[in-house]
Each structure stands twice: as C-alpha cells, then as structure tokens.
A and B are shown apart, each in its own frame.
Chain A
C-alpha cells in the first residue's frame, strides 16, 4: 500500500509539473508576440515597464480563464488593433504586408526566367 501511495505521489508531481510547464510555455509564447505599449519595439515578455507588467497579469488571467491563444490575441486586438501583435493574421489591413514579399518573389522569378532561362 505504501509503495502504491509513493507511486501515486510521484506521478502526481510529474503530471503537475508538466501542466505547470505547459502553462508557462503558453504564457511565454503569447507574451513574446505582444508589443509593449511604452517601449515600442520590445515585446512585453522582454519589457519590465508598468504597462507591460499589467499586460502580463492580464495574459495570466485569460489563460486561467481557459481562453485559447487566438481568443487572447483577439481580446488584445479588439483593444489595441493589429498593431499589438508581432505576428498579425492575414486581413484587409495586412494583406500588403503578407503578399508583397510573395509578389516580389514572383516578379523577380519572372525576370530571371525571361532573361536567363527563356533566352537559352
């Protein structure tokens, strides 16, 4: 019986640690993707300003409430706009940001093809 109890205790500790670590990973991932409001250009993960700390508290609260990453991003986006995210999704405000590199790649490819490959 004692052994069973010890095994249970160990497995419980391992499981609990894992759950905690997962939550911490999630928090780190989210805070690295949120922009600091005061020290713009820094993520709130890196920042220690008053507002960044408040944002971290809110992220913690939202994770505790069981919100998914996307829901948390949406929550901050509603308040501050796409600007708060370092990795904004594709929408009508950001399509140039996302599609321009692809377009440049295609145009560049076309120029290379026309001048070097098609000429041969």
Chain B
C-alpha cells in the first residue's frame, strides 16, 4: 500500500533539512548561559595582590558603589586586547575597577601592568582558580558589573567598545 512520495514533497523536506543544517553551521558550538540573572555576590576569601593580606568579598564591595570585577591574567591573550578599554573606563569616576588575577605568576602580572598600565583600583589574586569558580565564571577574561553587592551583569570574554558604552550608560 506504499505510495511513492511526490518529488515535490521530497525536495521540500530535503530543502528544509538543508537550510536547518546550513544555518546550524554558523552557530557557535560553545554554550553560553543567559546572563541576565541578577544575583548576590557570593561569599569568598581572597588575597590582595601586593600585600597578600586576606580579604573577604564583603570587605571588597561596599554598598551603594558600582564595581567592575575583571578576571584577568598575564598569559591570557584576549586580556591584552581588552586592556586599553579598561584604561579608558578608569577615567570615569563613578566606577571602581577591581581586578582578579587568575592563576598567574606575580612577576609576569606585574610586568603586564607595567607594560600596559594599571586600570585597577584594587587587585586580588586567585592562585588556584577557585575564586573564579565561586563567582560562577566561565573563562578568562570575564567581567562582572556589581552594584549594591549584587551582580547585575556578566560579560563573558573580552570587553569591547559596545560593552564599555553600555557600562557607562548603566552607571550614569
């Protein structure tokens, strides 16, 4: 009782399948979570970069102030790319830029800052990478916009001009 599929329908089905697969080629295969969720800054302990003094997250982020927490490392190439943008953002006084030096060698990190400038108000270290995980980071570089001890925006990957403008608009 099998009827032969009309060639028209067959072509249509194959065409639709082709379009779906072709479009799928353009999609990135790296999963990116939705990052619109606001959540409290998790509690974590870390060390100050220069002095090695212990700090807890509640001491770092004061209420009523806006912070950009930037995870960076001297071995991370995209961090080098986004660095001039951070230097530019530093000029704006409404925002405090806090650096989290991820799994880095102190000397290399210092050279990195000497070479490219230091945009950070404060720097903390994350030698074993666990602070970044506590924060829910996906990689380096990554930046978190923090206000009133809440993470209001997360930027995965290097910052770009568009993002910087967005941050400037948000803090105004």
Mark A residues whose CB is within 8 Å of B: 37-38, 40, 50-51, 53-55, 57-58, 61, 79-81, 83
Q: Which of A40, A54, A80, A83 contacts B128 (CB 8 A)?
A: A54
**Assembled-state Cα–Cα distance A59/B37 (Å):** 25
**Assembled-state Cα–Cα distance A38/B129 (Å):** 14
**CB distance B33 to A81 under 8 Å?**
yes
**Assembled-state Cα–Cα distance A19/B30 (Å):** 39
**CB distance A40 to B31 under 8 Å?**
yes
**B55 nearest CB across to chain A (Å):** 19
4 shortest interchain CB distances as A-B pairs: A54-B129, A79-B136, A37-B138, A54-B133
Interface string of B51-79 (1 = CB under 8 A from A): 00000000000000000000000000000
Q: Which of B29, B31, B133 contacts A55 (CB 8 A)?
A: B133
**CB distance A79 to B129 under 8 Å?**
no
Interface size classification for chain B: 10 to 19
Interface string of B130-172 (1 = CB under 8 A from A): 1011101111100000000000000000000000000000000
**Assembled-state Cα–Cα distance A54/B134 (Å):** 10
Given contacts A50-B103, A80-B136, contact A58 B130 (CB under 8 A): yes
**CB distance A51 to B139 under 8 Å?**
yes
Q: Which A residues touch B139, using CB under 8 A? A: 37-38, 51
**CB distance A40 to B30 under 8 Å?**
yes
- Known contacts A40-B30, A54-B129, A54-B132; 20 additional CB pairs below 8 A are A38-B138, A40-B31, A50-B129, A50-B140, A51-B133, A51-B137, A51-B138, A54-B133, A55-B133, A57-B128, A57-B129, A57-B130, A58-B134, A79-B42, A79-B133, A79-B136, A80-B33, A80-B136, A81-B33, A83-B33
